[in-house]
Chains A and B, each alone.
Chain A
Amino acid sequence: AQSVTQLGSHVSVSEGALVLLRCNYSSSVPPYLFWYVQYPNQGLQLLLKYTSAATLVKGINGFEAEFKKSETSFHLTKPSAHMSDAAEYFCAVSPRGGDKIIFGKGTRLHILP
């Protein structure tokens, strides 16, 4: 069965510092991978997705993620954190040609002034 593991339920970074949120997936074949963001009292919003094209995927709000098959990882990064980035971030996986999305448990990102 496919799954994702997010390392760290809470991550704190200073404003202007690098953001790195870690995600590892488990799958017998490279799946489709996603990062979603959930701002307080708002719905889930897609940040970016990997669908077997370029391994470095750029998303909204300056975020990007790199698919590394050898490490079964899909870590999310942003060069410079902004206060508005404070939110819950979910890594997710979907089987190739599949439908349902399997989410990780989430990482809450805190931005320190």
Chain B
Amino acid sequence: GAGVSQTPSNKVTEKGKYVELRCDPISGHTALYWYRQSLGQGPEFLIYFQGTGAADDSGLPNDRFFAVRPEGSVSTLKIQRTERGDSAVYLCASSAGTSGKDEQFFGPGTRLTVL
């Protein structure tokens, strides 16, 4: 009964570099969400997948951010030309369904630091 896992747990990169953050959802969960939590703030929605497709990407801040979920399970959040303002904890969550009632289970997050 593994929960949501995220790798790496910490990522330090230099400004301008490309990074990939990985999320392994709970087995069988069809919905997958990405959030970003900046210091002293609550998590902020980025994008959510239902199966393989992005059902809502309205939270992605700009076109440097992109996420995929090619087989409907693992997802990768990709950030191009990283900026210092991208430093945050990136959280992934998964749920069995997409009703507002379905609980989203969160992973421990990836702490991204852009120098």
A interface residue numbers (CB < 8 A to B) = 9, 31-32, 36, 42-46, 49, 51, 90, 92, 94-106
Contact = CB atoms under 8 A, between A and B. Distances in A.
Main DSSP-derived SS at the A contact region: loop
B1 interface: no
Interface string B26-48: 00000101010000111111001
A99 B55 contact: yes
A11 to B, nearest CB: 15
B106 to A, nearest CB: 4
The 6 closest A-B pairs by CB, nearest first: A103-B42, A32-B100, A44-B106, A100-B45, A94-B100, A43-B108
A49 B99 contact: no
B20 to A, nearest CB: 20
Nearest to A42: B108
A103 B98 contact: no
Interface in B26-82: 31, 33, 35, 40-45, 48, 55-56, 59
Interface string B8-26: 0000000000000000000
